[in-house]
Amino acid sequence: MHIDAAAGANGGPMHTHRLQEERFIVQTGVLLVRRGHERTRLGAGEDVRVPARMPHTWRAETESSLIVELRPALRTWEFWRDLFALPTDRRGNPRIGEFARLMLAYPDESPYFRPIPPPLQQALAFVLSKLASARR
């Protein structure tokens, strides 16, 4: 996936991928990648791999262009397509119930947020998705 990131753009809160390794390849700009307790500053032409289950996030220090690879691919493309189609709040965040439904539909592709264990997040997603459906 190709991302053009404005200075300050980020990869969201610290999260893990249960089954996928993630690789960040910087084409232009400067990216700060946090992997566990390690922070790595990457410039153009540099890359870093994040093993499955390792907490991580990133932030563009300058306007940057990067490639993000997730392996194995699984249904990552479909996950991102459906994520960006979700209704959002005023700040651009998906509604929690809608995101919960997405987590249930894509349990292997969905990011899991620290420090809540993935099985507990799945249980919460089930409850939140039902509450969101009841509000319709």
Residue 26 backbone phi and psi in degrees, to 5: -85, 125
Residue 99 token pair: 């995101």
**Please, what sign has the CA dihedral across residues 12, 16, 19, 23?**
positive
Please say whether the structural domain 2-71 has been given the CATH code 2.60.120.10.
yes
One digit per residue, pLDDT tens: the chain, 136 residues?
999 999 999 998 999 999 999 999 999 999 999 999 999 999 999 999 999 999 999 999 999 999 999 999 999 999 999 998 998 888 888 888 999 999 999 999 999 998 889 999 999 999 998 887 776 6
For the chain, the domains span 2-71, 76-135
